[in-house]
Structures are given as structure tokens and as C-alpha cells.
Structure 1
Amino acid sequence: MQKFLALIFLFSSTLFYSQLQTLTDDFEGNGTILSWYGGDCGMDNHFPNPYPSVINNSGTVLKYSDTGALYAYVAFNGVGNFNLNNNSTFSLKLYVPSNGLTGNQTNQISLKLQNSLLTEPWSTQCEIIKPIVLNQWQTITFNFASDNFVNFSAASPNPLTRSDFNRVLLQINGENNTSQVVSYMDDFQYIVTNNTIYDNLVWSDEFDGNGSINYLNWFQQTQFPMGTSWFGNEQQHYTNRVENSNVSNGTLKIVAKREAYTNQGVTKQFTSARLNSKFAFKYGRVEVRAKLSEGEGTLPAIWMLGKNINELGAYWQLNGYGAVTWPACGEIDIMEYWGSNVISSAVHHPINGNLSVDEYTSNYQNKEGVTSAFHTYALEWNNERITLSVDGINHLNYQPLIKNQFTWPFDAEQYILLNIAMLSNAPANFVQSTMEIDYVRVYQQANLGNSSITNETDLVVFPNPVTDQLNLIISENQIGNRATIYSILGQELNSIILNKKQTMVDVSAFPQGMYFIQIASGKEKNTHKFLKK
């Protein structure tokens, strides 16, 4: 019996001190979180979604009902500990109806991390508090490397250096009050994205020059794929005219216009452009810096399709590569803008068992000023997952546990598309609108100089993304090593000796973009990436 108990203890210890990589729950029976519970509140983690919408059309969600208890929360214990490096995030969708609130508390959500093995788990907790809006589904993301956090105890160390957190608590509108709250949660995720560094620029267009687009890089797709129309009841003709796609002052302009235009025997009242890249690739990072078109009825998009799609008139189909229908080819929507400062991303693939029926995973983030300023829309794609972000903040991670022709057609080359579609709700006063693109860049893996790029768990880099000051935390045995910062092209920008466990590096003068920081100890060189915003 003692041996049996010892084995149980050993197994439990192994579970608690293993590093978690992914936890998810969609509250529809899919996911890896099995231990949700409510503290001083009502909880139903299979409640019919009372507010289905385009943002969240799930059938069931978690309902959280705080009836006035001082410390109401919902929580779960992870089977393992959380690794709070600069590539880990917690996220969830949230809906808080105003008619379920009492009192005058600040509308917010707290995510608290605790050690459930302690007698008083809250005594060493760390939390992030985020503002929320009422009466709409929204996605909230928590990142302890880049968000402001609060330690319950001033004696607690930086959470990025800790490995004892194994419990998550979620709390709406604070604690130590008797106000009431009803809220709905969905699609909880804890993701540690991979640390693959894409440092080799393999293809790009910087849109220098003036006049026509670079025809070595782009194909203007104009042929109707459905005989007399485009998919989705789009209202435009795509043309190869300079009026609809051109380059000037260092940017590409894709212009949607109201004008009667006849082509292929059909007259439509709008024109626009749809560009296919003449470059296709498998795995890597795509970065597109763009200022989006505006106006109801316009749908600017930055996206990708499998090179093997048999869509009539597409560049790769015309060149003999069309082999499968959509969605069997796979589609990755890096960015679609539906208005109201909502940037949407999606991954489309066939439903299980039927290659001709679409199934998709989508998410979004609210982003101010996308039609008045440039922002960076990015994809990272490898053989494990697809991650989509805006300005370095991830909002969608697609990583199916089972990868086959239905869930993962993303093991083949894809190409990039840029376009503005016109929808049927364009108002009568719409004249024209432009999507302006500063650059399109594709990176893949390569070595940085002669050194290997690896993951070094003894180095913590935060905040990431960074604005001014980059903090480096190293272990005792790394003191005295040299840290060198390189550009994405391998240019050395700064070099310092690390003479203490925490060092602050001023990067305020660096332009926006991705950089690498390399720690050298003798012949060993370990490299991390960070994003300057």
C-alpha cells in the first residue's frame, strides 16, 4: 500500500510541475479543461448562448452569476504549471449585459494566477485587470510579458520568473463588494506559441516607384469564378486597370470605386482590384503593413489560399496547379475589416468527412484607427499551428489536435491575396475608398550568422512588444555574458555585457519591427526575438 501511495504522489508531483503548453475550452464538450468551478457564485458551463452573433455563434457558453458575494469568481486548476514566457497568452470571449448589473463598480475583468498547493493560494497571486464594454461579445487577451500586472504581495517576484502558478481565477467587476453581475464566457485558451524565429526574408514588395504594380510579383485576377459573378454576392468587377491598383509614394493603392463598368458581358456598378502573389510558400511569417479602406459596404482583405485551388481565373490555376476545390485547399484570412474598428481573422478548412463543406475558426480584436494609420497584420505558420496578430498582439491560434486532410490542409504551399470587395449594403453616397499597403514581406527560418537559434529558458525578455525599455532577466550563471541586438537582416545594432541578473536596454530609437537579442557564452549562442512597436 505504501508503494501504491508513493506512486500516486510521484505521478501527482510530475503533473503539477510539468509545463503546460495549451489549455482550451469552448464549453461545447471540446477542450482540455475539466475542472471549472464557481466560488461564491452560480456557474453553468453548458448554458445556451443567449447572444449569438457573427463574433460568437457558439451554441453553449459558461454563465457566471455573482448574486452579491464579496469574492465571487470562476476558476479551474491546470494539470501542470503555467509557463509565463513572452510567448504565452490567456484569452477568452466575454459578454456582460448591462441589465444583469447592480451597483456602480468599474466594468472590468480580472485574471488571477495562484498556486493551489498553498494554504492561502491568494497570498502569492498575480493578476491582470482589463477594461470591458457592455452588451457585446469581445475577446480579452492577457499576457504577463506585455500587460500591466499586480502582485498581491510586494515580496512576490516578477511572474515571468515563476513556475508555481497552476490555478486561474476569473472575476468580473472586482471583489469586496455586494454588486451583482451576470456574464457569459466562451472559448477560453491558454497558448504557448512556438518560438520559431523567421529571420530570412525570402520574398517582399516594398512598393517603390510610381505607376503600375510590379507584374513580376503580382497578378491582377479579373475573371469571374462563377461564370457571371464572384462568391459571396460581391458587387464589383475586379479590373487590371491602374485606376484600381497602382503604386505611388512608396505604397500600393487598391481602390474601390463606384462606376458602371462592363466586362465578361456583365455590367456592375463598382470596380476594385484583387491581386494574387506570384510567389507561393509553405510555413513562415507574413507581415503586411497597411492602412485600410473605410466606408460601409467595403470589405478590405489580406488573406491566403492554397496554391492547388482550382478557382477559375486564379493565377496558379491558370498555370496548371489547380487540383482541389475550396475549402479543401485551405484558406487563411490574415485580416478582414468589417468596420467599427473590428479586425477579424479566420482559418477555413473542410468539415470532418466532407471536403466540399466549409468549417472555420475565427476571432477578432478591436483596433482603433485602422483606416487613418498604418498597422501591421501578421501570420506565423508552421507544421503545428497558425497564429494571427495585429501589431504583435495575437488574437487567433489554430492548432488542431488531430491533423488530417479535413482539419489541416495547411501542409502545402499557399499564396497571398490583397483585395477590396464591395458588398450589397454600400450606401448611395459611396464614391471610392482606398486600402494603402506599405509593404508585404515573407520570412522563413534561417540561421543568424553562424550561430544556432534555440530557446533558452534561463532568459526572460519583457515587455514584448516593447516601446522604450527592454528588460532582460538572466540566471546567475549567465552574468558576464554578452547580449547583442540584431536587426531582422542580421545587422548588429547594440552590444552590452550583462553584469547583473536584470538589465534594462534602451530601444526607444529603434524603428518599429522585429529584432533578435543573442546571448553569447563562449561558443554557445542563444537567440530570442522581440517586437518594437
Structure 2
Amino acid sequence: MKNLLLAILILFGFNANAQQTVEDDFEGNGTISTWFGDDANINAQFNNPYKETINTSNTVLQYEDVGGQYANIRFELDEKFDLSEDYTFSFKIYVPAVTITGSQDNQVSLKLQNGDLNEPWSTQTEIVKDVTLNQWQTVTFNFKDDNYINLNAGSAAPITRTDFNRVVIQVNGENNTDRVTAYIDDFLYDGTIAGSSDDEPVFDNLVWSDEFDGQTGFVTDLDNSKWFKQIYPIIGGNSWANGEIQHYTDRLDNSYVSNGTLKILAKKETYSYNGTSKNYTSARLNSKYAFTYGKVEIRAKMPTGVGTFPALWMLGQNITETGGYWAATKGTTPWPDCGEIDIIEHWGDNQDFVQSALHNRSSFGSTVNKGGRTISNASSEFHVYTLEWTATKMTFSVDGIVHYVYNPENKNAENWPYDAPQYLLLNVAILPNITAGFSESAMEVDYVRVYQESASLSTEDNTIKNQALNVYPNPSNSRVTVNLGNVEGESELVLYSITGKKVHSFSQDIPSETHDISFLKRGVYFLQVASSKNSKVVKLIKN
């Protein structure tokens, strides 16, 4: 389906400046991809535990305030809201009484902020609404007619402002450590926003991967056409960075494939290499593949134990790193000028936290370029850790939920050495604070996949010449007439959401016919009209 959407975008002139909806039904049809929890666990594809009354959808967003003083959930857009004409936000919410601690008011607030500020809340506006427990209800926030609260008394009325690009939802207030769980569905802004001015690439072409299938029932080595086991220390003498105290080895004891996953096993054992004995061993893998721009997906499960330090990360192929796979043939630039991309790091003394970070000349070591999130089962369940790397920014997510975006405004060699090939590294390090009772623990990796943009699509393969297809009225409230022009034969009409998901289909065997679309949610759709000989796609806007 992604290929279809890409074909639509390329061949039919859908530009990124078109108006786009702001909505999410948490069923895969939304246009919001940056949901994030502050001191709150968030699951944007949670099975609806209360399928009743006004909400029988299958999946919802679970919001779990775990006691954070200012816990909330939020998302941010590249463009700003224009509230002068469209100023209403709404969603469904269910708050079970059994999840509440403390004596806070049963309420939900929606705050609008400017995410570009260092302190986004400083100029926020907010509307607070009461919530009835133990039932689904639709809550609406009207920034023209409802009572709103400007944190800064000098701020103008919301409908006169165009600086908001962040939406914050907060259940049962702030400045308390009480807990509450809520379920949210069908978020909708009643207007549209201008699309990003960037032409965002679609990384849908798998260019390199390792599924670690191995041989069922056996322990096997890694595919040495894809991976290099780095054992030689990169820091002077016999040490690694960060004060790490392990030897990395190329033995099966420390890295192997079994039962469909890669295991990188850190062990407590005395091991000598290069004239030095250490009490811990592990493995550090370099990919024999390097690339520039794309999407990396790694499905992995972290090890356990205070002092364990696993990472899924990348380095510039040009790094002058003694013992690294690429150093002898590509090494020209020292760290941090080569650029480092930490897709995910994890520390055993902060078991439920994962972090992404960038190291370069502008900030390295204890870098300021970082962001993370709390997940309660990083070491007991697999999660998909994703990096999307374009020529302008890097976006990091876990299970599809974005937790950090790196996008320096004025890019230069110091803050953006990320316009050259990077290679992948997977490792588990041991830090000096390793617990005395540690014996061994493994990071498991189910797969590593790298995607890049598809090659240009052939217009001959995907559509035909510009026929006189006409769809009207467009935009439409409830019904549209499809005039097939000179499209020959019976045609199938298929509607796709803006994310490329098929939402409806119907057939037409006469030149002009009217179809009911009242069941569609408001938003942007693509209508594909296909006959036995040809096909065409038009953009359709449902009011």
C-alpha cells in the first residue's frame, strides 16, 4: 500500500503544501505520528477495554499517569494552527474510577503550546473540562467560546494567535503525584493545517536486512558477509570508551544465532586478550553495510542487570577507529567529527528507560542532543526501535511513538556530519558499577532492517494518460459524482486514507454515477479508479 501512496504523491502532484487534517482514530488512519508521554506511559494501539455506548472501536490510546508531577501526553506538528476560523479540538475519553489515587478533581485539560520555545508552556493557553467516570464521553475544547486560561496574562486571545504547534492533554490536573489511567480515542481538530514545506521521503524499499533465522534447533554463527566482530580496543592501551571493563570477543560464547534471534551475551568470566585479563566478556558487531539516509528498524529486547550498557547505534564510515571494520579502507576522520547516531541506549540501573542521542563536534560525551522515554518492559518484551534519517532531520521512535527529533536549524559540519555513509553497531558493554551478583545476560535482536526510497516509479506501470475523469463536488459533505470520462469498461473505485490504508471500494459500470461518502470521517482521501485497461487517482476532500 505504501507503494500506491508513493505513486499517488509522485504522479498526481500531491504537494506537501496542501491542507492536511489533524486527527487520529488509533486504528491506523490518523495523521498524527508524534504522540509522546511526559511522566506517563502511552500506548497508541491499546485494545479498547470498554467497547460500549459511543465507542466500539477496536483500539484506543492508553494514557497512564504513573505519578509524575506534571504528567501529560502530547503531540507536535511542523506547522502552526490558525485558530482564527477553526478553533475546536475534540476527543472521546474514558476514565475508570478504580485507576485513580488521591483526591484530584475529575477533569481533563487541553493545552496549546509553542513547541519551538525553550519553555513551551510559558505562553500556553488551556481549557479545562469535567469528566464523568466509568463512561465514554466526547469532550470538546472551543478556544473561541469556552473559558480559556492563558498562563501569561499578557497573552492575546487564542483565536488571534498563530504560534501554537503543540497539543497537550492532561488528566486530573498537574502539580500532584496521584495516578490515573485514561483511554482516549478519535482525536480531531475541526480545521486543517498547511503541510510541511519539506518533501518528506518515503522509505519503503528494503535494501539490507538480517532476520537472524539461523538453523532451527541449533546455535549458529552470524552471517559473516553481513557482520564483523570487533575485538580490538579503540582507546589507547587495552581499554574501551566510557570506562567499560569488558573484553569483546569473536567467540560463539558471546554472539550467536539461535531460535530466530541474535544473542549478544555479556558474561562474568576471566578472559585474557592482548596481554590483559578482564573479568567480563561480551560482543561488539559492525555491519559490513553502510548507507546515507533511510529508515532503520531493529526489533530487540534489552539485557538486565545494574552495570549493563547495551546499544543499537551507528558511526560514520569514515571514522579512524583502530580495530573497526571500515577503518583500514575508509578511515579519514576521528570521533566525534565522523558523527555518531545512537538509535537506542539502555542502562541496567535505569531499567525502564531508553534513550536516543547524537554525538558530533557541537556536543559530544555528555551530549545535549538526546531524548528518551520510559517503557516498562524493555528487558522482558521485544520493542521496535526506529530511526528515520533524512537530509534535514532525524526522528527516533519506539513502537511507532516518537520520543526525539534532531533537527538543528543552521546545519554545518559541526552539528550535521550526517550527510555521509554510516554503519551499524550492536553491542553490550559492562560498566564499572556492575552488580556483584551479575553472571550473564543477553541482548536479543529479532531483526535489523534498513529501508530507503524506492526508485522512481514508471508512469506506464502505474497509471495512463490524463483522461477526463471528473469527481464533484470536491470537497464534498456526503455524496460525490464520478464521471469516468473515457475510462473504458466496468471500473473499480477504491478509497484510500492519506496514510495509504484502503477504507472503502465500490464498482461503477456507467459513465457517470453518484456515490454516498457520508460514512467517511472528514479529511483527505485518494480515490483510485481502475478499469481492465487503465487507472487514475484523484484527491478527494471530505468535509
| Bigger mean CA offset, 81-90 vs 419-428 | 81-90
The separation in 2 between residues aligned to 1:425 and 1:254, in whole angstroms, is 20
Match of 1:207 among 203, 212, 230: 212
Structure 1 residue 348 displacement after superposition: 1.4
Match of 2:327 among 317, 327, 331: 317
The separation in 2 between residues aligned to 1:518 and 1:451, in whole angstroms, is 17
Q: Deviations over 1:310-360 (max 9, x none)?
A: 011110003x101111111111111111232111111111128xxx98844
Q: Deviations over 1:191-233 (max 9, x none)?
A: 9697422111110111122411100000000001122100010
Structure 1 residue 387 displacement after superposition: 0.5
Match of 1:117 in 2: 84
Match of 1:274 in 2: 284
* TM-score, normalised relative to structure 1: 0.59
Q: Deviations over 1:47-101 (max 9, x none)?
A: xxxxxxxxxxxxxxxxxxxxxxxxxxxxxxxxx9995662453768679xxxxxx
The separation in 2 between residues aligned to 1:142 and 1:204, in whole angstroms, is 42
Match of 1:395 among 390, 403, 408: 403
The separation in 1 between residues aligned to 2:407 and 2:68, in whole angstroms, is 37
The separation in 2 between residues aligned to 1:294 and 1:501, in whole angstroms, is 52
Q: List runs of 5+ in structure 2 lacking aligned partners.
A: 1-15, 24-29, 41-66, 103-109, 113-135, 145-158, 178-194, 463-473, 483-492, 508-514
SS at match of 1:232: helix
Match of 1:425 in 2: 433
Paired residues of 2:238 and 2:276 also in contact (CA < 8 A): yes
Match of 1:305 in 2: 315
Q: Does 1:232 align with 2:242?
A: yes
Q: Deviations over 1:422-464 (max 9, x none)?
A: 011111110000111111110100059646999xxxxxxxxxx
Match of 1:342 in 2: 353
SS at match of 2:361: strand
SS at match of 2:427: strand
Structure 1 residue 370 displacement after superposition: 1.7
1:231 is aligned with what amino acid?
A
Match of 2:140 in 1: 152
1:446 is aligned with what amino acid?
S
1:86 is aligned with what amino acid?
T
| Bigger mean CA offset, 365-374 vs 302-311 | 365-374
The separation in 1 between residues aligned to 2:461 and 2:410, in whole angstroms, is 28
2:321 is aligned with what amino acid?
E
1:373 is aligned with what amino acid?
E
Match of 1:249 in 2: 259
1:368 is aligned with what amino acid?
S
Structure 1 residue 280 displacement after superposition: 0.2
Q: What is the correspondence of 1:69-468 to structure 2 with a 5 Å cutoff?
A: 86-87=31-32, 89=34, 108-109=71-72, 116-117=83-84, 124-126=88-90, 151-152=139-140, 166=162, 167=164, 174=172, 195-210=200-215, 211-226=220-235, 227-318=237-328, 320-338=329-347, 339-351=350-362, 359-446=367-454, 450=458
Q: How many residues align?
A: 375
1:419 is aligned with what amino acid?
N
Query: In the superposition, relative to structure 1, how do residues 128 and 398 fare at CA in structure 2: closer, same or farther (>3 Å)?
Result: farther
SS at match of 1:350: coil
Paired residues of 2:300 and 2:383 also in contact (CA < 8 A): yes
Paired residues of 2:70 and 2:175 also in contact (CA < 8 A): no
Structure 1 residue 400 displacement after superposition: 1.1
Query: In the superposition, relative to structure 1, how do residues 416 and 165 fare at CA in structure 2: closer, same or farther (>3 Å)?
Result: farther
Query: In the superposition, relative to structure 1, how do residues 497 and 503 fare at CA in structure 2: closer, same or farther (>3 Å)?
Result: farther
Paired residues of 2:38 and 2:72 also in contact (CA < 8 A): no
The separation in 2 between residues aligned to 1:288 and 1:385, in whole angstroms, is 19
1:321 is aligned with what amino acid?
K
Structure 1 residue 109 displacement after superposition: 3.5
Q: Which has the larger radius of gyration?
A: 2
Query: In the superposition, relative to structure 1, how do residues 109 and 377 fare at CA in structure 2: closer, same or farther (>3 Å)?
Result: closer
Paired residues of 1:106 and 1:173 also in contact (CA < 8 A): no
**Structural RMSD (CA):** 4.9
Query: In the superposition, relative to structure 1, how do residues 377 and 91 fare at CA in structure 2: closer, same or farther (>3 Å)?
Result: closer
Structure 1 residue 240 displacement after superposition: 0.2
1:351 is aligned with what amino acid?
S
The separation in 1 between residues aligned to 2:273 and 2:442, in whole angstroms, is 22
